Amino acid sequence: MKLSREILRLIETAISAQSNAYCPYSSYSVGAAVLTESGQIFPGCNIENASYGLSICAERVALFNAITRNQTSIKAICVVGSSAKPCGACRQVMLEFSTKETELYLVDFNPKTNRRKVVRTSVFKMLPAPFDPVASGLLPAHPKNLLRARASLSRRPRHHRRGRRR
The residues annotated with a catalytic role in the active site are: 59
Cα–Cα distance, 128 to 117 (Å, whole number): 24
> Is residue 75 helix, strand or coil?
strand
Please name the amino acid found at residue 147: L
> Is residue 129 helix, strand or coil?
coil
At 14, which helix (H) or strand (E)?
A: helix 5-18
> Is residue 66 helix, strand or coil?
helix
Please name the amino acid found at residue 88: G
Interacting residues of 110 by C-beta distance below 8 A, sequence separation 6+: 82, 116
